[in-house]
Structure 1
């Protein structure tokens, strides 16, 4: 498929624009969360979850998982932007339409690369082509990071995130039931992610 939107060679330039897109756009946030910062956070968490998975005998590459996490929001800097979750999931039909549009953007971004490079990116950028086990881990990490964002806002006294935090806790609990490695992260690592710097370095 010939790229219509993305100029040849523009893939990296589009990805680097992720820092200009703010997440949670309709929420009154005290701390700004860009798409690039979010993808970094998800990559770190997803890599840790994948390490737990590998230590438990699963055939999954933490490096591949981290790479998939870096590119899991590629359609957003590709031009789609960040849409609020409740809006995207308002109806099944709307959700399918949005996913189809996201895939069009993802494929156009991959097509902007030279032909020899495309196989290195296609399996991570086009979400429908990401390996199922990798995609599960990235999604679990994505939801954990959303929980951390909501809890962080609550800790700052921002009640705008009260319902979001409660909903994210339920979602993360479901992922912990499905993925033992996600539960290991929540049990072992999550509490440290909520500590202050003084608490992290104190005795």
Structure 2
């Protein structure tokens, strides 16, 4: 039985931010789409603004599947996942096993095509950095949205996410913040110029 895509469809059942009170719950499927779009945008920024030659489509695909193993492992809260090196290393081993399990759910002929998504290659290291940055930008955006809804629970998470983004020192993320982040605090009329 080839159950890979049936498993992928279960992303919608994995809730994120389990330790936080949410004004609106976010699931893994929503998060993965947002990370995919932002990773694509970061690569496009790199190409159009910084003279790079990045594979934006590959960045998008990496973003789409970046947390797919959580279908098996669940979403472990960041403070727990990175509590100490032993837990971090153990969790990486669990993620690796989960990725092998997911790959085995594909027909054998297709597995090599998906291998680079689940087993990161050195040649794609910069794209994976962009995906990590997109993941942090998505978290930052979630914090902005929660604050806009009056939820003070995400104030320190917002600051931590922004500090993490800035510490990555990626010019693509700085330009994304400059070009796009302010719009996330706007209402629909402000976003559309009152033409919605």
Instruction: Give the alignment's TM-score, normalised by structure 1.
Output: 0.90
CA drift at 1:50: 0.5
1:184 to 151, 164, 175: 175
Number of residue-to-residue matches in the alignment: 192
Q: How far off is 1:191 after superposition?
A: 1.2
Distance (Å, rounded) in 2 between the aligned partners of 1:195 and 1:106: 38
Contact preservation (8 Å) 2:103, 2:115: yes
User: Which residue of the partner structure matches residue 61 of structure 1?
Assistant: 55
1:122 to 91, 103, 115: 115
| 1: CA distance, partners of 2:110 / 2:130 | 25
Question: How far did 1:156 drift?
Answer: 1.2
Per the TM alignment, residue 196 of structure 1 is displaced from its structure 2 partner at its CA by: 1.3
- Root mean square deviation, CA, Å: 1.3
CA contact (8 A) 1:148 1:194 kept: no
Q: Deviations over 1:33-87 (max 9, x none)?
A: 000000000111111100011222223110000000000011011x111010011
Q: CA deviation at 1:160?
A: 1.1
Deviation at 1:152, TM superposition (A): 1.1
Q: Give structure 2 stretches of 5+ with no counterpart.
A: none
Map of 1:17-166 to 2, 5 A cutoff?
17-55=10-48, 56-77=50-71, 79-126=72-119, 128-129=120-121, 131-166=124-159
Residue of structure 2 equivalent to 1:193: 184
Partner Cα separation in structure 2 for residue 196 and residue 122 of structure 1: 41
User: 1:193 and 1:44 mapped to 2: Cα distance?
Assistant: 15
Point out where structure 1 has 5 or more consecutive residues left out of the alignment.
Answer: 1-7
Q: Note the C-alpha offset of 1:166.
A: 1.3
CA–CA separation in structure 2 for the residues paired with 1:31 and 1:41: 16
- Preserved contact between residue 148 and residue 185 of structure 2 (Cα < 8 Å): no
The TM-score with structure 2 as length reference comes to 0.93
**Deviation (angstroms), 1:125:** 2.6
Displacement of 1:115: 1.6
Distance in 2 (CA, whole Å) between partners of 1:104 and 1:59 is 33
